[in-house]
């Protein structure tokens, strides 16, 4: 089973600052990694797939990078609506299923 870890658990930043979030996999997932944003009371929203491709409608300030076991989600300049929790996710072929990282909360400093 592939385990995803995320760091930091909490990131305290001001609007306009750059946010850098990390996701590490316990074994290689190639580039098959997704990132989600979740705001209170809402389901997660797909941001990034294939580690670096923005999903439909996602602003260009969101970018992803990495492959293998180390991945990064970068928000170039935080907007007020970006303060939320971010999860990484991968799918395993065996046993078949999905795992999520524990999440990084981006909060207003």
Partner 1 sequence: QVQVQQWGAGLLKPSETLSLTCAVYGGSFSGFYWSWVRQPPGKGLEWIGEINHGGSTNYNPSLKSRVTISVDTSKNQFSLSLKSVTAADTAVYYCAREDLVGATNAFDYWGQGTLVTVSS
Given the rule CB under 8 A, which residues bind partner 1?
30-34, 36, 42-46, 49-51, 53, 55, 87, 89-91, 95-103
Of 22 and 31, which has the nearer Cβ to partner 1?
A: 31
Strands 10-13 and 104-108 come out as: parallel
Of 19 and 54, which has the nearer Cβ to partner 1?
A: 54
Of 17 and 38, which has the nearer Cβ to partner 1?
A: 38
- Our measurement of the distance from residue 31's CA atom to the centroid of its chain's CA atoms, rounded to an integer in Å, reads 13
> Edge to edge, what strands does the sheet with 62-67 contain?
4-7, 19-25, 70-75, 62-67
Rounded Cα gap, residues 92 and 97, in angstroms: 5
Q: In angstroms, what is the minimal distance from the CB of 4 to partner 1?
A: 10
Q: In angstroms, what is the minimal distance from the CB of 1 to partner 1?
A: 8
């Amino acid at each position: 089973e592939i385990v995803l870890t995320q760091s930091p658990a909490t990131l305290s930043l001001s609007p306009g600052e750059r946010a850098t979030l990390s996701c590490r996999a316990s074994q290689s997932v190639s580039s098959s990694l997704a990132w989600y944003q979740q705001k209170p009371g809402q389901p997660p929203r797909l941001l990034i797939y294939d580690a670096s491709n923005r999903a439909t409608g996602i602003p260009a300030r969101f970018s992803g990078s990495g492959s293998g076991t180390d991945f990064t989600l970068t928000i170039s300049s935080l907007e007020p609506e970006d303060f939320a929790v971010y999860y990484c996710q991968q799918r395993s072929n065996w046993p078949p299923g999905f795992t999520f990282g524990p999440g990084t909360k981006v909060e207003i400093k």
